[in-house]
Amino acid sequence: MSTSESDSVRQRSSQEDTNDNHPLPPSKEEGRGSIGSIKSSSDHLHSNKDELQMNRRVGLFSGVALVVGTMIGSGIFVSPGNLLGNAGSPGLCLVLWAVCGLYSLLGAISYCEIGTLIPKSGGEYIYFLEAFGHTHKFFGPILAFIFAWTVVFLLKPSSLAILSLSFAKYLSSPILTAINFCPDTYLSYVINRLFAALCIGIITFINCYSVTAATRVQNIFTVAKLTAIAIIIGGGLYYLGLGYTENLEIGFEGSATSFGQIATAFYGGLWAYDGWNNLNFITEELQNPYRNLPLAIIIALPLTTVCYVLINVSYLTVLTQQEIISSNAVAVDWGIEVLGAASFLIPLGVVMSVFGTANGSMFTAGRISHVAGREGHAPDFLSYIHIEKKTPVAPILLNSLLGILMIIPGDIATLIDFFGFTSSIFYCAAMVALIVMRFTKKNEHRPIKVPIIIPVIVMVVSAYLVIGPIAAAPQVQYFYALLFILAGLIFYVPFVYYKTQVPGMKSFTIVCQKALQIAPTTVH
């Protein structure tokens, strides 16, 4: 990236606070290097009064659907036994599900303050940049860059890969059973990868085609997964009414007593709530963010918590504690016991749930690298959007490409588990950023201001979740995870701090613009 291009991008971004509702004219350099070579693009921009920006198309319902849809994936249907096994008793298990929901709600409320104080897309990335970016020329922007590096190149594409493989597993299995075909191990591997790649391809097309289409898909599949959950909860309550309470009557008998074991169970529960911060990645596309951001959080988090607690109650009315712990697909086993011939509805619900979660993950992932490119922490073309669809095509394609590469290995889920604590690092740092900005931006208008004790609690718990697993069971994989994070500095020093231009990047950017019909945004 050239120095002038980076400065231009950063200048546009810094003017957002004072020109949020007014279009900025494109620079001369942008006209030459970006849209001057695409006549149709230039005509389009001039006909739209030189405005090219991502519009606010996400309303309250879509915001709730995005948060709920990305939190509720396959885990609650497939492997809730992990938390139960570590908790040791049904009573403690249900308490931990509720406590995890409360912790996530406290974190989300804290994010509401930062998100309305800094109404920009990018989530933690932009918050770190605003809080620490000006403190030191070299060290200030590092945390924001490391966040973007880790999320864009590891967490988001690996999440997409795992979700698409789950989709493939639950879609292909009933189809192969229906046609009475039993493939060998290698053929099964190939079929699952093909279905996973198909899933990623469909989601990529939807998100590149239209923001409206992506949000509608999210809304539909969120309603579908809530319907599947309602079926399980309804069936469980019915059996509860018939007196099937023996598993619940165990209560807290046999509960884990060691702090480390309880912390491990808590850590597993938090994974099921991961995604509560996704709305902060798309703040600039959210209609009336000062109202809809906190309102969507207040609706989505309690709704998800209630669903998680009640669905576990439902499992315990039908299945024993050991059956839940040892099952590879708890919801499917529950469906066989309760629904009989209609048990096929559960795998179908899992497929729809996973597809919706993958769609939401793709939707938010594209915004992180888009904002990073806009701020000069990634190649400029990642900050460009489609001239007609107004979608960040290049970041979406990057995420899908990395996701497809990650479905090739036999099993990446085990490795990714060791990177899970990185999310807690960034949650902790975000709370530090909030507290810091209470002093550095104390005169700024805050539509929402939470009691300081809330971010302090989230910060302390997050810090423990980083240190706890490593201290309890130190493994070399944690070192590899930290090594990957710090490897981002290899790119930060030459390309961000010293602004070294990659040979051929300007030509590559122009090729991308022509091929993808993308151009720089004029208003952020």
10-residue mean pLDDT profile of the chain (524 residues): values are: 43 41 39 38 42 84 95 83 89 94 95 95 96 95 96 91 89 82 85 94 96 95 93 93 91 84 79 89 93 95 96 94 88 89 86 94 93 94 93 96 88 62 88 96 92 95 83 78 90 94 93 94 63
Interatomic CA distance for residues 19 and 35, integer angstroms: 23
pLDDT of residue 414: 61
Q: Give the number of other Cβ atoms within 10 Å of residue 513's Cβ.
A: 23
Classify burial at 441, counting beta carbons within 10 Å of its beta carbon; exposed 0-12, middle 13-18, buried 19 or more.
middle
How many alpha carbons lie under 13 Å from residue 122 in its C-beta half-sphere?
A: 25
What is the rounded CA–CA span in Å between residue 472 and residue 220? 42
Half-sphere exposure of 342 (CA within 13 A, CB side): 6
Pull the structure tokens for residue 398. 């990057």
**Quick check: 91 and 250 in contact, CB under 8 A?**
yes
CA gap 361, 74 in Å, rounded: 13
CA distances 31 to 34, 153, 191, 510, Å, are 6, 30, 47, 12
Q: Of all helices (H) and strands (E), which one includes residue 386?
A: strand 385-386
Distance (Å, whole) CA 404 – CA 400: 6
Alpha-carbon torsion angle 222, 263, 453, 65, nearest 10: 0
Q: What is the pTM of this model?
A: 0.85
pLDDT at position 45 is: 37
**Which two three-digit tokens encode residue 488?**
């981002």
